[in-house]
Amino acid sequence: MAEIAVSLWRGKADGSYQLYRVPQRDNQTVLDVVTWVQRNADPTLAYRFACRVGMCGSCAMTVNGRPRWTCRTHTSKVVRHGKLEIGPLANLPIIKDLACDLRPFFEKWQAAKGVFAPRLTRVDAIEEIVPTTAARQAADAAIECINCAVCYAACDTVRWNPDYLGPAALNRAWTLVNDERDTGQQQRLQAVAAAGGCHICHSHQSCQQHCPNALNPTASIAGLKRHTMAAYLKGELE
């Protein structure tokens, strides 16, 4: 049976790659490969997954140097000359092996005010949203984020500047900036216009290149830049 020579990152930041030989199958994802290693070669291997169908955003890893969702990446697409290298996501602290600490990622989500601030309560009638307005369409174009942190791991600016909020958090902020029901706009614009906010994005577009859901966080960030500039010129921002 054909085998893949799989190099897996083991340990923390000072760890190293270890080689495993994994049977190659016709229909096999990178997550299948990692699971095979844990079940058959080394049960101490740490990694993270949940849904296995590209919805939960838990299983992102670095595959042959590129951040990918492993549950929907087929080995036939990424194995080169019978080899595969799988590591933890970049730009995040490594807990162990392939599992990263995602706290910085989600703390920045909070710092960018990526949380809906409602106007109504649960006793009010549900508000009707018109899907055809320009703002709603801008929000819809960016809303399918699954929080996998692939864009965060792919971002050069995150690597160079640990204060940068990152593409996912800013993309989320952009969906809320365009949400007519939200009441937290002033604080959100202030948060994304501050140091570490949208203006240090270099528009390298790695987030767009690697996003497994084909979102374009660079475009969302450009929208935030325009929006915050207009607000600043109107004297609405400090």
Cα–Cα distance between 191 and 50 in angstroms, integer?
32
Q: Which is nearer to other proteins, 87 or 217 (CB)?
A: 217
- Please report, to the nearest 10 degrees, the dihedral formed by the alpha carbons of residues 101, 102, 105, 110 taken in order: -120
- List 7, 28, 161, 209, residue binding other proteins (CB under 8 A): 161
Instruction: Using the rule CB under 8 A, give the single segment among 1-9, 113-121, 142-150, 193-201 that binds other proteins.
Output: 193-201
Determine which residue in the list 114, 167, 184, 197 makes contact with other proteins, applying CB under 8 A: 197
Task: Say whether residue 204 binds other proteins (CB under 8 A).
Answer: no
Task: Provide the 8-state DSSP code for 19.
Answer: E
Contact call for residue 188 and other proteins (CB under 8 A): no
List the x/- string, 210-229, binding to other proteins by CB under 8 A. Answer: ---------------x--xx
The C-alpha atoms of residue 229 and residue 232 are separated, in whole angstroms, by 5
The number of residues in the chain equals 238
Binding mask 66-95 for other proteins (x = CB under 8 A): ------------------------------
Pairwise CA distance, residues 111 & 178, whole Å: 18
**Residue closer to other proteins (CB basis): 95 or 200:** 200
Within positions 100 to 159, which residues make up the interface with other proteins, using CB under 8 A?
A: 157
- d(C-alpha 42, C-alpha 38), whole Å: 5
Q: Which of 130, 195, 214, 235 binds other proteins (CB under 8 A)?
A: 195
25 sits near other proteins (criterion: CB under 8 A): no
d(CA 147, CA 171): 11
Write down the H helix ranges in 93-216: 103-111, 134-142, 150-154, 156-160, 167-177, 185-193, 206-210
Binding-residue total with other proteins (CB under 8 A): 15
236 binds other proteins (CB under 8 A): no
Q: Which is nearer to other proteins, 117 or 222 (CB)?
A: 222
Tell me how crowded residue 93 is: count the other CB atoms within 10 A of its CB: 12
Across the chain, which distance is largest between two alpha carbons, in Å?
Answer: 68
d(CA 66, CA 199): 25
Among 200, 205, 213, 222, binds other proteins (CB under 8 A): 200
Q: Which two tokens stand for residue 153?
A: 């791991």
Contact residue for other proteins among 33, 94, 193, 219 (CB under 8 A): 193
Q: Give the interface with other proteins as residue ranges (CB under 8 A).
A: 157, 160-161, 193-195, 197, 199-200, 225, 228-229, 232-233, 237
